[in-house]
Amino acid sequence: MLMILDVPPKLPDNPTRFMDRLRVFIRSRNMAYKTEQTYCHWIRRFIRFHGMKHPSTCSAEDVERFLSHLAVQRNSSVSTQRTALNAIVFLFREFLQQPLDELSFELARKPKRLPTVFTHEEAQAVIRHLQGDVQLVARLMYGAGLRINEALRLRVKDVDFGMQQLIVRSGKGNKDRTTLLPDSLVEPLTLQVEACLALHRKDLAEGYGEVYMPAALDRKYPSAGREPAWQYLFPAAKLSRDPRSNLLRRHHLLDRTVQRAIGAAIRAAGIHKQANSHALRHSFATRLLEAGYDIRTIQKLLGHADVRTTEIYTHVVRKGGFGVLSPIDTL
């Protein structure tokens, strides 16, 4: 059986290892599992960089050396260096209760790249080269601006046909939001709900049918995991072993499965841009800008905390070069 990869693994009841205690602390703050994984990754990198020295014995100078190493020797991007800084500041200020003095380190200078965007025709070509559940996931990313895991983690209850909207639970930053449910996806999503509930009934008949519940809701509502509303909209083909409960459950499709399929579709469509599945979400934002929707509305639909993140799409709308008419086009 497969092992579920994006569900927090069970930790010891009385953890003694440093990283286990750190993970318990992060979960006590109700932070997203993706954040836990990211912070633990960079904290491990920091510890290894300093020869496995315990972080509590490290100084601000040790932090500065690590961050400068990322910029100078590793040639990391600004965003990578900032992510590492956030993880280490959290480690010292929140977990160790040892706030750092003002840091002085070499800043990463690798420029932030503009997002790769498909034309509408290119996005349609990619989608045409996909089939089944993966195609519907891609249509949601392009049609509603969802991140890949936001689409894959949708549950039956998150598709509101009456209000014609999708409810994104615990998106980036562990925040909920709503976004549009495109008219063209109402019928295929209705059929998708029917198909996943038919599979759920089959699992129940075979003694399974209980889905993973977030934030310990399985203790508060013990039977909710077997209810239709909580089933994943895009269930995996096989049952998986839950690392926390050791139960066999049906999880959702894995993101890497969808990413590989979309990568193959991009190549099959003859598109030679450096693009991946996330380009569909970038293209959603760009189409809305081209249609004249205001930046604040697009920000809310995308779930960006800062409007400056959304504004980057103003640089990639159709008619590049700021819409300037080239003199050669007047000849």
Catalytic-labelled residue, pool 45, 74, 172, 300: 172
Contact 66, 76 (CB under 8 A): no
Q: Cα separations (Å) of 198 from 231, 253, 326? A: 11, 17, 57
Residue 130 CA to chain centroid, in angstroms? 21
Reduced to 3 states, what is the DSSP secondary structure of residue 181?
coil
Active-site residue flag, 281: yes
Q: Which of 129, 125, 146, 124 is nearest to 137 (CA)?
A: 146
Phi/psi at 165 (nearest 5 deg)?
-145, 160
Distance in angstroms (rounded) separating the CA atoms of residues 2 and 200: 18
Annotated catalytic residue, options 27, 74, 278, 300: 278
Cα torsion angle, 124, 128, 130, 135, sign: positive
Largest CA distance in the chain: 77
Confirm whether 244 is a catalytic residue: no
304 is catalytic: yes
Tokens of residue 139, six digits: 């249509």
Residues 156, 228 contacting (CB under 8 angstroms): yes
Q: Which two tokens stand for residue 72?
A: 């100078």
Please count the other Cβ atoms lying within 10 Å of the Cβ belonging to residue 280.
28
> Which residue of the set 147, 251, 252, 287 is catalytic?
147
39, 142, 212, 313: the active-site residue? 313
DSSP-assigned states of every residue in 86-124: HHHHIIIIIIS---------PPP-BPPPPPP---HHHHH
Q: Which of 251, 281, 282, 287 is catalytic?
A: 281
313 catalytic, yes or no? yes
For the record, the structure tokens of 330 come out as: 């007047």
Q: Give the residue numbers annotated as catalytic, written as ranges.
A: 147, 172, 278, 281, 304, 313
